[in-house]
Structure 1
Amino acid sequence: MTPSTHTSAPHVRKRGGNTVEPYLYLLPFAIFFALFVIYPVGYGFFVSLHRWDLLADTRPFVGFEYYKNLFTPGTPQAEFFWNSMKNTVFFTAVSVPLLVFTSLGLALLLYRPIIGRAFFRAVFFLPGILTVSVMGILWRWMFDNQIGMVNAARTEIFGLQPLAFLSVEGLAWVPIIIGTVWWTIGFNMTLYLAALGNISQSYYEAAELDGASAWAKFRFITWPLLAPITLFVVVTTALASFQLFGQSLVITAGGPNRSTQSTIQYITEEAFTNNQFSSASAMAFMFGLVMLIFTFLQFRIMARDARGEN
């Protein structure tokens, strides 16, 4: 007589069962997110709807008055805010392509097995560990109107007259843009180096058998396969460029004539120099909205190109 065997069915948790365990893991992040993101954003919006004076006993509700000031011609807020927005967009439009294509070019050069490759990689990456104040002081000194190294080279080597880089509109952007590229190019270069290492060499071997040139291999193999990382680099670099603050503050102090003043720099001035906290909060929300729209459109366009859609 064989003993009967009993096979017990495994315990299966029903989908949608009542359990709080996943939420307990999310709770610490949710607390910090609410404390340091949700609450400050909500409080800032509340401030923008009131006439906020730290020394006053009452702070009357004014609705969207400070938002209307940003679109009312003739008000200082409208003039200086949109001027700073123009400066920020200009800086972003110039610096992002430079940071993307220059870092890609460096990555392509340093991906090859050349002598001193690790040394050169470190040289291009090391500036990124500097603080913005150190970087700003360095490039302000480099482009100083009188004793700067750039003007010294122009005079001693080429026999040219020195240029007032820091006090002429237009020229003042040169040290800011060059300094920013020098300061941040190493991070993007490292991302591209990692992406290049993930491309299988079999693609290039097959292309060589077909007689493809170096340009053809880059155009039809390297560039398409780098599309996802390029999307990431462009979006993150654009967001960082929109947040321009320290470079223009240290190198040119926003001058001359506010020609290099960034949006965040003007919002800071409105809040902590002019003590107009409500106006500054409204500007911050408007600036955040512009950044969201720009990032959304940029992400959609780049993602569509990465998928090969028309």
Structure 2
Amino acid sequence: MSLTAPRMPRRHGFNDANPVVPYLYLLPFALFFLVFVVYPVGFGFYVSLHRFDLLSETTPFVGLEYYRALFNFDTPQAQFFWQSMRNTTFFTVVSVPLLIATALGLALLLNRPIFGRSFFRAVFFLPGVLTVSVMGILWRWMFDNQIGLVNAVRGDVFGLQPLAFLSVEQLAWVPIIVGTLWWTIGFNMTLYLAALGNISTSYYEAADIDGATPWAKFRFITWPLLGPVTLFVFVTTVLASFQLFGQSLLITAGGPNRSTQSAIMYITEEAFTNNQFSSATAMSFMFGLVMLIFTYLQFRIMARDARGG
């Protein structure tokens, strides 16, 4: 008499299920993606190729006319658009190094065992929870030409004349950049703090045995190991800076003489103030193309860094 093992009931795995089931799980996201991404982009491209007017029943096809107009610098649209692009680039070039360097410096300080470390971490992070409207109104008041706190301190404490921060082109960027630094630095600082906490202390112990100076430990241990998070912070900060809108709108209203008007501000003005929807849509796609090129270059750098060179 031979004994045979009892047959276990067959378990139906994922591969035995209906092949339609995975797509049902993807369906909600796909619907939202189609409705809120694919359709708006497609309709926007259609608008940029037609002379679109909400009050007109016809939308004649004009091809690339509005795209060509962006390179005709005899038109005010091209002049204002590229000026706003230069303004946005200037803001990005100035603010991004400050946002990265200051966040790293604060993270290095607050990573040390100092008294009240948790309190100061919260203090630097809390401004990031404010809305851009609150931040903009606050810093507009801080740098007001007449009643601003900055000018009050300059006059009462240092005996200096007030500066017209909101009316002079060379000074108008100061409240925007300083306000953005105060508002957003906490996020980058938190990322650096998390990265510093993942660095093994054995590296620093070995460096101490070798007699390394604090600068040498930062240069050869801390900074290289922070490379991946620094690249991430750099990419996200640049992308966020290119999307400058609320700070300029609320603090300086794009002035004086459009010197602080960002690209998104002018696109919004062209669409909803001048009612030139086709022109504004073409500007949006041109602005998006610039962002895509930059993002592509950043991903190439990230891929090369992941491969180790």
Q: What is residue 93 of structure 1 aligned with on the other side? A: 93
The 3 A distance-change label for structure 1 pair 210 and 140 is same
Q: What is residue 48 of structure 1 aligned with on the other side? A: 48
Q: What is residue 128 of structure 1 aligned with on the other side? A: 128
Matches of 1:56 and 1:19, distance apart in 2: 48
Give the secondary-structure state (helix, strand or coil) at the position aligned to 1:171.
helix
Matches of 2:264 and 2:283, distance apart in 1: 9
The 3 A distance-change label for structure 1 pair 286 and 14 is same
Q: What's the CA shift for 1:2?
A: 2.4
Matches of 1:12 and 1:289, distance apart in 2: 48
Give the secondary-structure state (helix, strand or coil) at the position aligned to 1:57.
coil
Q: What is residue 175 of structure 1 aligned with on the other side? A: 175
Matches of 1:170 and 1:16, distance apart in 2: 69
Q: What is residue 199 of structure 1 aligned with on the other side? A: 199
Matches of 2:215 and 2:9, distance apart in 1: 62
The 3 A distance-change label for structure 1 pair 119 and 8 is closer
Do the aligned residues in 2 keep the contact of 1:136 with 1:251 (CA within 8 Å)? yes
Matches of 2:275 and 2:242, distance apart in 1: 24
Matches of 2:163 and 2:155, distance apart in 1: 10
AA aligned to 1:277 is F
Matches of 2:151 and 2:165, distance apart in 1: 9
Matches of 2:156 and 2:56, distance apart in 1: 60
Matches of 1:167 and 1:303, distance apart in 2: 45
AA aligned to 1:225 is L
Q: What is residue 23 of structure 2 aligned with on the other side? A: 23
Matches within 5 A, 1:39-118: 39-118=39-118
Matches of 2:4 and 2:86, distance apart in 1: 83
Matches of 2:161 and 2:90, distance apart in 1: 28
Matches of 1:84 and 1:306, distance apart in 2: 35
Aligned residues: 309
TM-score by length of 1: 0.94
Q: What is residue 248 of structure 2 aligned with on the other side? A: 248
In terms of mean alpha carbon deviation, does 265-274 or 22-31 score higher? 22-31
The 3 A distance-change label for structure 1 pair 284 and 210 is same
Q: What's the CA shift for 1:174?
A: 0.2
In terms of mean alpha carbon deviation, does 83-92 or 7-16 score higher? 7-16
Identity %: 77
Do the aligned residues in 2 keep the contact of 1:235 with 1:299 (CA within 8 Å)? no
Matches of 1:224 and 1:176, distance apart in 2: 32
Q: What's the CA shift for 1:120?
A: 0.4
AA aligned to 2:122 is A
Matches within 5 A, 1:122-271: 122-271=122-271
Give the secondary-structure state (helix, strand or coil) at the position aligned to 1:247.
helix
TM-score by length of 2: 0.94
What CA RMSD, in Å, does the superposition of the two structures yield over aligned residues? 2.0
Matches of 1:219 and 1:305, distance apart in 2: 18
Matches of 1:32 and 1:136, distance apart in 2: 32
Matches of 2:151 and 2:306, distance apart in 1: 44
Matches of 1:4 and 1:54, distance apart in 2: 80
Any idea what the Cα deviations from partners look like across 1:81-135, whole Å, max 9, x if unmatched?
0000000000011111111111011011011111111110110011011111111
Any idea what the Cα deviations from partners look like across 1:134-163, whole Å, max 9, x if unmatched?
111111111111111111111122222111
The 3 A distance-change label for structure 1 pair 103 and 58 is same
Give the secondary-structure state (helix, strand or coil) at the position aligned to 1:176.
helix
Give the secondary-structure state (helix, strand or coil) at the position aligned to 2:167.
coil
Any idea what the Cα deviations from partners look like across 1:219-261, whole Å, max 9, x if unmatched?
1111111111111111111111000000000000000000000
Q: What's the CA shift for 1:75?
A: 0.8
AA aligned to 1:83 is Q
AA aligned to 2:223 is W
Provide structure 1 residue ranges, at least 5 long, that are not aligned to the other structure. Answer: none
